[in-house]
Amino acid sequence: MSDHVTGERFSAETRVAKSAWLADEDNPVISRLTQRMADLTGLDMEAAEMLQVANYGIGGQYEPHFDYKLNNDTDYTTRGGRIATILIYMSDVEVGGSTVFPDIGAALRPYKGSAVLWYNLLQNGEEDARTLHAACPVFVGNKWVANKWVRAHGQEFRRRCSLSQMD
C-alpha cells in the first residue's frame, strides 16, 4: 500500500490490495463524481477525503475494521471523524469479494455500477460499532472499488433526522 499523503509505500497485513488517491483537481471526472455524491447524499464534500481507488486481485481482501477514525489521524481535530463512507463498485467479481458487516449479518456482493453509503458515526457523534466491515477475499476475477470518506466537519445541518435512538 502507499500513504496517500506522503506517497511512501508500506506493507499492511490487514489489507491485500493496490490503491491510488485521486483529488477532484486531478480530472473533471473525479470532480463530477464528487459532486454527484454530494447531490445524492446531501453531505458537504468540502471536508471529505480524496477519492481512493482500490484493486483487489486474486486473494485480495481487507480484514474487519472500522472507518470512523484512523490511527495517527492528523486531520481529526480539524475535520472530525469519518461520518460516512461511500463505496462504489466499479467491477463485477466472478467469485468472492463481498463486503460484509458481520455484526449485523449483511453481505454486499460487488456489482459494477452499484454503490453503498453507511454512516460511521451516530447522530450524537459517537462511533457506531455496527459498522465493523471487511472485504472478503477475491477468488476469481478482479475487484475494483472507489471509496469516499466524508468527514464530520460541515455536516452538522446536513445529515437527515431520525426518530431512532440508535441513529
For 11-31, what is each residue's pLDDT tens digit?
Answer: 445 778 899 999 999 999 999
Quick one: pLDDT at residue 110? 96
- Is 47 part of any domain? yes
Q: Considering the domain boundaries, does residue 83 fall inside one?
A: yes
Containing structural domain, residue 133: 15-151
* Residue 144 within any structural domain of the chain: yes
Structural domains counted in the chain: 1
The reported pLDDT for the residue numbered 65 is 92
Tell me which DSSP letter residue 24 carries: G
Nine-digit cell string for 112 = 459494477
Of 164, 107, 100, whose CA–CA distance to 132 is shortest? 100
Which residues share a beta bridge with 147?
52, 87
Q: Whole-angstrom Cα distance, residue 124 to residue 152?
A: 11
136: in domain: yes
What lies within 8 Å, CB to CB, of 105 at 6+ separation is none
Does a structural domain hold residue 156? no
Residue 4 lies in a domain: no
What mean pLDDT value characterizes the chain? 87
* Stated length of the chain: 167
Smallest CA-to-CA distance from 151 within 119, 115, 116, 114 is with 119
State residue 31 phi and psi, 5-degree precision. Answer: -60, -45
Between CA 29 and CA 97 the distance in angstroms is: 26
Task: Tell me the CATH number at 135.
Answer: 2.60.120.620
Evaluate whether residue 116 is within a structural domain.
yes
